[in-house]
């Protein structure tokens, strides 16, 4: 254990951030919806994991079209989640446990029920009309833009009272804010100041790369979209002309280096990774989230599964880009993604535990700030809904409606959503084998995965070999070994084997991590120094297998050892 090594002083460089989707974490009042008092009641559990910060998805007043990503008042709390006193208590109780709080700020758009939009949509004379992007109907139809959560796939919605169209990259109920208007930016900075004064330790800025718009509104023809933006509207949206001016200005508003600026960065390319230096401390990219999906189709999983070589390449490149400057992030699941275990591992009973532990080892030993999504420490799995009525996610419903309107194959879409749908990652946290997995005494807002009877926190607490207790050991290992937090990263087997082997090192300690990202026994071959009982730090199997050719890794085996 190398204690002399000094990591970078910023707390978020060493931190493990635990993400909680409050709506699905713990319900305190039996209405079937997770809430702040429920979250507060579970802080001792969160602290017992050994994480450093808690990121919560939005709990501000909302119409709930997109589960809180449609904010109608940034200064008050949605009653179903609790009160301002509850949020004050959460901040205090978390701080008392040395856990920092990061809150989600949805600044690309508001809810259409926000007072600003309610005024803007009445008259072009309203001072709030310039808070949003309107296109005057007398100029004809605006140039096509893609609306991600729109049943017609459109991003312009006609508003009769002003005889104009307003822009919404997401749902019509989520009108995009006009960041080109300095008055809007000042309003948003005032919101940040308010929450900093309340004690927030950081902000996760939702879809922040989308906020700058080219207000010359060029035609983005299919040919341009294909040639310039890889057929991905997200890349076009993420390349607005003044984005970095706005982000620098926002950072100047909250200059404290202790307040984390974390940007969700859809559409950002590897070569743009360092462009956010001095603006956002961390960004979460989406490059890894397209692996295993058929290109240019909406979240259509490749029947052959995901390519391990692509997985290794993308995560190696996103680690290397920060070798000298900046700092990266790593996540394999969140509230927008299916369960990590089901997506990247093997969630069938035989390999569920081993593959969950293997993926958690990757997540928590790479050179980046990791995001541990609540439930992944238990090895929670996709629920695999079979009918569209089981879903609550606006994205699933809107894309389903788009398909239906075009006579598309909605059955195939529902099969795809069993693998890729966002609600797979939003099912209630599984606390116990009791009713509704101990999440609520009422009817859960989203069905609980029936596997809760065997996959739940209570059961895993009692099992020393559980995914939960393995996660705790991993987090402790990470805390005790600077090589795993701020050490260098070097790939050990630059080949196309399913084994992801890399080393993390500080001046006098090198730790090797070998991960068999497959369900087959795989030979690793010769090793510089051999893992032996006295230098193995972690192994998700009881033994290490040797053959004459070298180390044989069991299916989904994870091996961490000092070399
Ligand atoms: O997600 C932004 C974003 O890019 C997502 O739409 C992502 O592309 C999609 O979820 C992949 O299926 C943020 C929030 O994380 C998401 O929950 C919200 O729905 C969205 O913004 C709109 O606020
Ligand atoms: Ca509740």
Please provide the DSSP assignment of 431-447 as one string.
--SSGGGGS-SS--SSP
How far does residue 25's CA lie from ligand 2's centre (Å)?
A: 10
pLDDT in tens, the chain (563 residues): 444 567 889 999 999 999 999 999 999 999 999 999 999 999 999 999 999 999 999 999 999 999 999 999 999 999 999 999 999 999 999 999 999 999 999 999 999 999 999 999 999 999 999 999 999 999 999 999 999 999 999 999 999 999 999 999 999 999 999 999 999 999 999 999 999 999 999 999 999 999 999 999 999 999 999 999 999 999 999 989 999 999 999 999 999 999 999 999 999 999 999 999 999 999 999 999 999 999 888 999 999 999 999 999 999 999 999 999 999 999 999 999 999 999 999 999 999 999 999 999 999 999 999 999 999 999 999 999 999 999 999 999 999 999 999 999 999 999 999 999 999 999 999 999 999 999 999 999 999 999 999 999 999 999 999 999 999 999 999 999 999 999 999 999 877 899 999 999 999 899 999 999 999 999 997 666 677 778 999 999 999 998 888 899 999 999 999 98
Which residues are placed with Cβ below 5 angstroms of ligand 2, an ion? 27, 29, 31, 33, 35
Which ranges in 230-348 belong to alpha helices (H)? 233-237, 243-253, 308-320, 340-344
Strand, coil or helix: 200 = coil
Nearest-CA residue for atom 2 of ligand 1: 207
Go through 6-34 and write b for each residue having 16 or more CB atoms within 10 A of its CB, e for each that does not: eeeeeebebbbbbbbbbbbbbbbeeebbb
C-alpha closest to that of 104 among 65, 147, 70, 63: 70
Go through 40-74 and write b for each residue having 16 or more CB atoms within 10 A of its CB, e for each that does not: bebbeebbebbbbbbbbbbbbbbbbbbbbbbbbeb
Nearest-CA residue for atom 22 of ligand 1: 69
Neighbours of 513 (CB within 10 A): 23
Residue ranges covered by each domain of the chain: 12-110+182-475, 115-167, 485-562
Residues forming beta bridges with residue 447, ordered by sequence position: none
Torsion of CA 550, 556, 562, 563, to 10 degrees: 30
Question: Computed from CA positions of residues 255, 260, 266, 268, in that sequence, does the dihedral angle turn out positive or negative?
Answer: positive
pLDDT of residue 56: 98
Query: In this structure, which ligand is nearest to the CA of 298?
Result: 1
Strand, coil or helix: 352 = helix
Q: Which two tokens stand for residue 96?
A: 């008392």
Nearest-CA residue for atom 23 of ligand 1: 69
Strands 202-205 and 260-264: parallel
C-alpha closest to that of 211 among 189, 190, 229: 189
- The C-alpha angle with vertex 19 and arms to 486 and 245, in degrees rounded to 5, equals 70
Neighbours of 131 (CB within 10 A): 22
Listed in sequence order, the residues at least 6 apart from 161 whose beta carbon sits closer than 8 Å to its beta carbon are 121, 122, 123
How far does residue 35's CA lie from ligand 1's centre (Å)?
A: 21
Catalytic residues: 206, 264
Neighbours of 302 (CB within 10 A): 14
Query: In this structure, which ligand is nearest to the CA of 205?
Result: 1
Neighbours of 137 (CB within 10 A): 15
C-alpha closest to that of 65 among 109, 105, 101: 109
Show the ligand 1 pocket: residues with CB < 6 angstroms. 66, 69, 106, 148, 170, 206-207, 264, 266, 335-336, 395, 422
Greatest Cα pair distance in the chain: 81
Decide if 303 contacts 418 (C-beta within 8 A): no
Query: In this structure, which ligand is nearest to the CA of 173?
Result: 1
Which ranges in 97-154 belong to alpha helices (H)? 115-120
How far does residue 182's CA lie from ligand 1's centre (Å)?
A: 25
Nearest-CA residue for atom 11 of ligand 1: 336
Atom number in ligand 1 closest to CA 234: 4
Q: How far is CA 554 from CA 290, 293, 360, 451, in A?
A: 27, 27, 17, 26
DSSP single-letter state for residue 324 = S
CATH, domain range 12-110+182-475: 3.20.20.80
How far does residue 179's CA lie from ligand 1's centre (Å)?
A: 19
Q: 485-562 falls under which CATH superfamily?
A: Golgi alpha-mannosidase II (2.60.40.1180)
Nearest-CA residue for atom 9 of ligand 1: 336
Instruction: Give dist(CA 25, CA 551) in Å, integer.
Output: 41
Pocket test residue of 288, 336, 338, 422 for ligand 1, highest count of atoms within 8 A of CB? 336
How far does residue 304's CA lie from ligand 1's centre (Å)?
A: 26
Fold match between domain 12-110+182-475 and domain 485-562: no
Atom number in ligand 1 closest to CA 422: 12
Q: Which two tokens stand for residue 393?
A: 């996610």
Decide if 355 contacts 513 (C-beta within 8 A): no
Instruction: Give dist(CA 166, CA 548) in Å, integer.
Output: 68
Residue that has been written with the tokens 């579970």 in this structure: 42
Instruction: Give dist(CA 558, CA 326) in Å, integer.
Output: 28
CATH, domain range 115-167: 3.90.400.10
């Amino acid at each position: 254990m190398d204690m002399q090594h000094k990591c970078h002083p910023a707390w978020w460089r060493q931190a493990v951030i635990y993400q909680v989707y409050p709506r699905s974490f713990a319900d305190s009042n039996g209405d079937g919806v997770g809430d702040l008092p429920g979250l507060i009641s579970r802080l001792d559990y969160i602290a017992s994991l050994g994480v450093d910060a808690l990121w919560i998805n939005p709990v501000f007043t909302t119409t709930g079209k997109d589960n809180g990503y449609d904010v109608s008042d940034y200064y008050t709390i949605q009653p179903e989640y609790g009160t301002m006193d509850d949020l004050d208590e959460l901040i205090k109780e978390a701080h008392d446990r040395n856990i920092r709080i990061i809150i989600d700020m949805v600044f690309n758009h508001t809810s259409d029920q926000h007072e600003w939009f309610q005024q803007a949509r009445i008259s072009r004379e309203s001072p709030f009309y310039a808070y949003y992007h309107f296109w005057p109907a007398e100029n004809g139809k605006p140039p096509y833009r893609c609306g991600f959560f729109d049943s017609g796939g459109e991003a312009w919605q006609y508003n009769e009272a002003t005889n104009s169209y307003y822009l919404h990259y997401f749902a019509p109920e989520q009108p995009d804010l006009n960041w080109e208007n300095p008055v809007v930016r000042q309003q948003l900075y005032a919101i940040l100041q308010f929450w900093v004064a309340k004690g927030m330790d950081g902000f996760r800025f939702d879809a922040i790369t989308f906020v700058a718009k080219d207000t010359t509104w060029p035609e983005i023809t299919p040919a341009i979209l294909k040639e310039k933006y890889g057929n991905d509207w997200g890349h076009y949206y993420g390349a607005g002309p003044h984005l970095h001016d706005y982000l620098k200005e926002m950072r100047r508003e909250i200059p404290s280096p202790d307040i984390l600026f974390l940007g969700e960065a859809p559409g950002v390319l590897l070569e743009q990774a360092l462009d956010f230096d001095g603006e956002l401390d961390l960004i979460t990219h989406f490059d890894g989230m397209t692996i295993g999906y058929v290109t240019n189709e909406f979240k259509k999983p490749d029947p052959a599964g995901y390519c391990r070589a692509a997985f290794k390449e993308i995560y190696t490149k996103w680690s290397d880009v920060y070798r000298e400057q900046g700092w990266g992030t790593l996540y394999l699941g969140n509230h927008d993604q299916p369960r990590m275990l089901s997506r990247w591992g093997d969630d069938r009973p035989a390999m569920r535990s081993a593959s969950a532990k293997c993926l958690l080892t990757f997540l928590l030993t790479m050179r980046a700030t990791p995001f541990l999504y609540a439930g992944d420490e238990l090895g929670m799995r996709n629920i695999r809904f079979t009918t569209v009525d089981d879903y609550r996610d606006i994205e699933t419903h809107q894309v389903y409606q788009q398909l239906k309107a075009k006579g598309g194959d909605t059955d195939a879409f529902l099969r795809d959503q069993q693998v890729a749908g966002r609600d797979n990652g939003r099912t209630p946290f599984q606390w116990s084998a009791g009713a509704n997995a101990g999440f609520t005494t009422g009817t859960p807002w989203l069905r609980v995965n029936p596997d809760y009877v065997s996959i739940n926190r209570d059961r895993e607490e009692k099992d020393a070999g559980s995914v939960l207790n393995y996660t705790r050991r991993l987090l402790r290992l990470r805390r005790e070994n600077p090589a795993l937090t701020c050490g260098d990263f070097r790939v050990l087997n630059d080949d196309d084997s399913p084994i992801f082997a890399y080393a993390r090192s500080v001046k006098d300690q090198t730790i090797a991590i070998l991960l068999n990202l497959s369900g087959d026994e795989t030979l690793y071959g010769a090793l510089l120094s051999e893992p032996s009982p006295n230098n193995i730090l972690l192994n998700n199997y009881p033994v290490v297998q040797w053959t004459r050719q070298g180390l044989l890794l069991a299916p989904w085996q994870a091996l961490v050892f000092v070399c």
